[in-house]
Structures are given as C-alpha cells and as structure tokens.
Amino acid sequence: MHSLKAEIQNLDADLQVQVKNNIRVFAVPAYLESIVLNIISNALRYRSDQRIPQLIISSNDDNSGTHKDCF
C-alpha cells in the first residue's frame, strides 16, 4: 500500500477502508497484498479524468460466518 501512497496523494484520490479489525483472512500474505495492490493500481490507472478517484474497500458479514469483501 505504501508504494501507492504518492500516487493516491497526487491524484487527490479518496481511499476508504471499511473493514473491521477482527476480520481473519486465510491466504498467503504476499499473494493477498499483491492482489489488493493490483486492484488499487488498476483503479487509479484506468480512472476517469473527469472526476476524483474514489476507492472503497469494504467487508460485510452475512451472519453465516462468511465475510464478503468488496473492492
């Protein structure tokens, strides 16, 4: 995430992370980081020049113990 900080600031992008602290993700950490960075960098790269980029990363609990993550 830190590698995109300058680009986010230069574009005046709005990045919101709406994920509870107690969420557990079962994944290889390096792979998960790579996927999230790729999604964010693609969102910034293919943005509309006519509006300020807004990126929201959220997670919702469906009460079955499964969390749905949205990017």
Confidence category of residue 24, pLDDT binned at 50, 70, 90: confident
pTM: 0.76
Is the distance from CB of 59 to CB of 28 less than 8 angstroms? no
3-class SS of residue 27: coil
Q: Where do we find the tokens 């910034």?
A: 44
Which DSSP state fits 19? -
Q: Where are the domains of the chain?
A: 2-70
Q: Is the model's pLDDT at 59 over the cut of 60?
A: yes
Cβ-in-10-Å burial (0-12, 13-18, 19+) of 14 comes to exposed
In this prediction, residues 19-42 reach a mean pLDDT of 89
In this prediction, residues 22-45 reach a mean pLDDT of 90
Beta pairing, strands 54-61 & 14-18: parallel
